[in-house]
Amino acid sequence: MQRTVGTMRDLTVLVARLDLDIGNIGICHACLSFVSIPLDGGHERAARREAQRMTPVLWEEGLSAAALAALEHACREGVPGAAVALADLERNAGRSPVARAIVLRLAAELSARGRAEMRLEAAARERLGLAPPEWN
């Protein structure tokens, strides 16, 4: 039986399979942006450093319930590595490499959503002049 959570690559694969949605987790997006902003700029090392700093804060803020529930569900579904990851979260909480991997995933999702919203806003702004003034 596997006893360690594995490499960061293993964690990234596992965390990608978890049923987590940034829109349904009650964590501060501004706090998460400390991780997502370096990711946006392609500064992975800085993002990992910020994830290490911010994960305990986000864990206490509400990430714990969502992360534990997602891993419990993954265990029931037989996702490889989920049981070891769950044990690591239960043991190390917000200091766990699993928790940091979750924060990095959520930060990437926050970044992607922000970019999508900005593209949508830009497209809407270009068409705004076509709408009658009373519709604005």
Q: What is the pLDDT along the chain (136 residues), one digit of tens a residue?
A: 456 667 878 888 999 999 998 888 889 999 999 999 999 999 999 999 999 999 999 999 999 999 999 999 999 999 999 999 999 999 999 999 999 999 999 999 999 888 878 888 888 877 776 666 666 5
The whole-angstrom separation of Cα 46 and Cα 60 is: 22
What does the pLDDT read at residue 136? 52
What does the pLDDT read at residue 1? 43
What does the pLDDT read at residue 133? 65
CA nearest to 105, candidates 31, 37, 29, 20: 20
What does the pLDDT read at residue 132? 66
Would you list the domain boundaries of the chain? 8-135
What does the pLDDT read at residue 108? 95
What does the pLDDT read at residue 24? 86
Burial of 103 (0-12, 13-18, 19+ CB in 10 A): buried
DSSP type of residue 95: G
